[in-house]
C-alpha cells in the first residue's frame, strides 16, 4: 500500500472506499489495519474480518466501530484478550444478554464495566 493511501486512512479521508479498506485489512502493518478498521466507511464485513485479526488492538478497534452488530459483540465477548472484551461490553449496541455474560468474565475490569452498565440500565433492550 502506498504512503498516500496510508495517510488518507490516518486522516479518515471521505474518499476511502470499500476496496481500499479491503486491501488495508490485508496489510502486513498492524497500524494500517488499525487505521482501516477505524475508518467511518468500514462495513460489517470489514468488522467480521478485523475481529479475526492476530493483533488485539485491531480487534479492539473493530468492536468499537459504530457499525458493530450484536453478533460482533457476541464474538468479541469470547475474545482471548480482556481489552477486546472490555471494548465489547462498552459498545452502545451491547444488550442485557451481553451484560449478563460479561458479569461472569474472568477479568475484573470487564465485570466492572458490565456491572456499571447494568446499574445504569445502559443497554439495548
Mapped to the 3 state alphabet, what secondary structure does 3-57 carry? HHHHHHHHCCCCCCCHHHHHHHCCCCCHHHHHHHHHCCCCCHHHHHHHCCCCCHH
What does pTM read for this prediction? 0.90
Q: Are residues 32 and 88 in the same domain?
A: no
Checking if the pLDDT of 4 tops 70, the result is no
**23-76: pLDDT as tens digits:** 999 999 999 999 999 999 999 999 999 999 999 999 999 999 999 999 999 999
Q: What pLDDT score does 10 carry? A: 74
Q: Are residues 79 and 22 in the same domain?
A: no
**60-116: pLDDT as tens digits:** 999 999 999 999 999 999 999 999 999 999 999 999 999 999 999 999 999 999 999
Q: What pLDDT score does 98 carry? A: 97
CA dihedral 51, 55, 56, 59 (to 10 degrees): -20
Q: Are residues 8 and 61 in the same domain?
A: yes
Lowest mean pLDDT among 3-7, 24-28, 62-66, 121-125: 3-7
Q: Are residues 59 and 2 in the same domain?
A: yes
Q: How many domains does the chain have?
A: 2
Q: Are residues 61 and 84 in the same domain?
A: no
Q: Are residues 37 and 60 in the same domain?
A: yes
How many Cα atoms are found within 13 Å in the side-chain-facing hemisphere of 52?
6
How many Cα atoms are found within 13 Å in the side-chain-facing hemisphere of 61?
20
Q: Which domain holds residue 39?
A: 1-68
Residue 68 and residue 60 in contact, taking contact as beta carbons nearer than 8 Å: no
Run of H or E residues at 101: helix 96-102
Amino acid at each position: 500500500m502506498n504512503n498516500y493511501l496510508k495517510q488518507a486512512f490516518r486522516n479518515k479521508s471521505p474518499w476511502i472506499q470499500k476496496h481500499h479498506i479491503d486491501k488495508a485489512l490485508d496489510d502486513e502493518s498492524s497500524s494500517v489495519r488499525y487505521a482501516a478498521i477505524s475508518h467511518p466507511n468500514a462495513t460489517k464485513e470489514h468488522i467480521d474480518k478485523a475481529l479475526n485479526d492476530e493483533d488485539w488492538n485491531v480487534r479492539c478497534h473493530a468492536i468499537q466501530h459504530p457499525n458493530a452488530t450484536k453478533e460482533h459483540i457476541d464474538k468479541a465477548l469470547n475474545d482471548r484478550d480482556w481489552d477486546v472484551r472490555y471494548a465489547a461490553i462498552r459498545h452502545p449496541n451491547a444488550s442485557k444478554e451481553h451484560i449478563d455474560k460479561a458479569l461472569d468474565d474472568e477479568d475484573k475490569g470487564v465485570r466492572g464495566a458490565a456491572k456499571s452498565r447494568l446499574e445504569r440500565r445502559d443497554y439495548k433492550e
